[in-house]
């Protein structure tokens, strides 16, 4: 849904911005900590209220219930949940560090922000007759939190980052009401054109003792899927278009690619560090090997 996507983009941009401008306090700054908690509380509750008032009001309500959507869209939506939780948790952790909170406490109180917030969103889903509380979503949310917290506790930094790339696919043309009609909608809503990545910093992980190895070079593994125009809940659409649905066979795609971490470049001007930090969640186009659907394919540049 579009509002959830906007929330994701807001948080991940704030995350990169925060990492580039915040200077951590040497000791606990209680006024700063209290200010952060207040901002987080007001921001989270306001966005939940906005979702409830603007989006969910358009659908009939029901008592809190769960449903199993684990087979939907070849789990691309679940990866999106994990990414959202990861970046909200990263924002929370960076802000706790900025307050001067002790390292382990900053991870505890910061990284769980994504899980707590998205649990609230999941409850809204659970009280909507159109959806339901999804334990699969909750597991994905928890995995995003774990990725933030685990790296902070192990390395005190994020050596493996979650990124996304998106391109226009032809499948949105079959269902523009679901997969998007405008260019921006298609980039945000069409899973066929999206790829989610785990981007690993090579110097931090493998070449820390090689002085001249570039600190900005990453290796990324990606996951995507294609030929998806309907979920399992779209039985009516497929009943009305049996030839179209019957001709498509959704399949998974796996990628191996190079990537750049532009926050690791020693920019002479801080504005560049801030700019590239705020868009650091975007996978840089690079030579890529795709595996999936019973074939392999090489791209000189893949996005």
Boundary of a domain, candidates 111, 132, 158:
158
Asked if pLDDT for residue 290 goes beyond 90, the answer is: yes
For residue 294, the SS3 value is coil
For residue 29, the SS3 value is coil
Highest mean pLDDT among 28-32, 104-108, 256-260: 256-260
Model confidence pLDDT, tens digit, residues 66-102: 999 999 999 999 999 999 999 999 989 988 888 888 8
Region of poorest pLDDT, from 19-33, 130-144, 267-281 = 19-33
Q: Are residues 166 and 291 in the same domain?
A: yes
Q: Are residues 4 and 118 in the same domain?
A: yes
Q: Are residues 112 and 163 in the same domain?
A: no
Q: Are residues 92 and 140 in the same domain?
A: yes
Mean residue pLDDT of the chain comes to 88
pLDDT band at 2 (very low <50, low <70, confident <90, very high): very low
Q: Are residues 55 and 114 in the same domain?
A: yes
Q: Are residues 31 and 124 in the same domain?
A: yes
Over pLDDT 90: what percentage of the chain? 57
Q: Are residues 60 and 127 in the same domain?
A: yes
Pair 39, 47: CB distance under 8 Å: no
How confident is the model at residue 122, as a pLDDT?
94
Asked if pLDDT for residue 20 goes beyond 70, the answer is: no
**Number of residues in the chain:** 303
How confident is the model at residue 51, as a pLDDT?
81
How confident is the model at residue 277, as a pLDDT?
75
pLDDT band at 224 (very low <50, low <70, confident <90, very high): very high
Asked if pLDDT for residue 237 goes beyond 60, the answer is: yes
Q: How many C-beta atoms lie closer than 10 Å to residue 140's C-beta?
A: 22
Q: How many domains, in total, are found in the chain? A: 2
Q: Are residues 63 and 178 in the same domain?
A: no
Q: Are residues 116 and 153 in the same domain?
A: yes
178 Cβ contact list (under 8 Å, min separation 6): 189, 229, 230, 234
Helix axis angle, 76-98 to 2-21, nearest 10°: 30
Torsion of CA 144, 296, 190, 139, to 10 degrees: -20
Q: Which residues pair with 255 in a beta bridge?
A: 222, 290
Asked if pLDDT for residue 123 goes beyond 60, the answer is: yes
C-alpha to C-alpha distances, 223 to 190, 241, 277, 290, nearest whole angstrom = 14, 28, 23, 9
How confident is the model at residue 179, as a pLDDT?
92
Distance of CA 120 to the CA centre of its chain: 17
pLDDT band at 200 (very low <50, low <70, confident <90, very high): very high
pLDDT band at 12 (very low <50, low <70, confident <90, very high): low
How confident is the model at residue 13, as a pLDDT?
57
Q: Are residues 116 and 169 in the same domain?
A: no
208 lies in which domain range? Answer: 159-303
Q: Are residues 169 and 148 in the same domain?
A: no
Helices assigned H by DSSP within 73-216: 76-98, 103-111, 113-126, 135-155, 176-179, 183-189, 202-205
Q: Are residues 16 and 137 in the same domain?
A: yes
Question: Which tokens in the block code for residue 66?
Answer: 């769960």
Model confidence pLDDT, tens digit, residues 138-164: 999 999 999 999 999 999 999 999 999
Boundary of a domain, candidates 128, 158, 188:
158
How confident is the model at residue 16, as a pLDDT?
55
pLDDT band at 291 (very low <50, low <70, confident <90, very high): very high
């Amino acid at each position: 849904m579009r509002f959830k996507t906007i929330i994701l983009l807001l948080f991940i941009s704030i995350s990169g911005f925060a990492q580039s401008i915040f200077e951590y306090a040497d000791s606990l700054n209680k006024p700063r900590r209290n200010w952060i908690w207040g901002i987080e509380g007001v921001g989270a509750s306001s966005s939940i209220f906005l979702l409830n008032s603007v989006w969910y009001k358009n659908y009939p309500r029901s008592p809190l219930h769960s449903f199993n959507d684990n087979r939907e869209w070849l789990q691309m939506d679940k990866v999106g949940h994990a990414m959202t939780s990861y970046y909200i948790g990263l924002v929370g952790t960076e802000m706790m560090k900025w307050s001067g909170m002790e390292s382990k406490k900053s991870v505890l109180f910061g990284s769980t922000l994504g899980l707590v917030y998205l649990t609230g969103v999941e409850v809204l889903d659970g009280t909507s007759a159109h959806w339901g509380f999804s334990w699969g979503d909750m597991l994905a949310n928890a995995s995003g939190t774990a990725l933030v917290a685990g790296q902070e506790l192990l390395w005190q930094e994020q050596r493996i980052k979650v990124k996304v790339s998106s391109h226009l696919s032809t499948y949105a043309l079959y269902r523009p009401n679901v997969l998007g009609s405008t260019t921006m909608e298609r980039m945000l809503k069409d899973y066929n054109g999206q790829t989610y990545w785990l981007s690993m910093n090579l110097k931090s992980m493998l070449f820390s003792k090689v002085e001249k190895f570039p600190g900005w070079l990453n290796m990324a593994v990606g996951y995507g899927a294609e030929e998806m125009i309907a979920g399992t809940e779209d039985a009516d659409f497929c009943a009305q278009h049996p030839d179209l649905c019957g001709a498509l066979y959704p399949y998974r795609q796996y990628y191996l690619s190079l990537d750049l971490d532009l926050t690791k470049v020693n920019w002479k001007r801080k504005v560049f560090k801030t700019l590239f930090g705020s868009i650091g969640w975007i996978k840089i186009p690079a030579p890529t090997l795709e595996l999936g659907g019973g074939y392999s394919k090489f791209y000189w540049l893949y996005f």
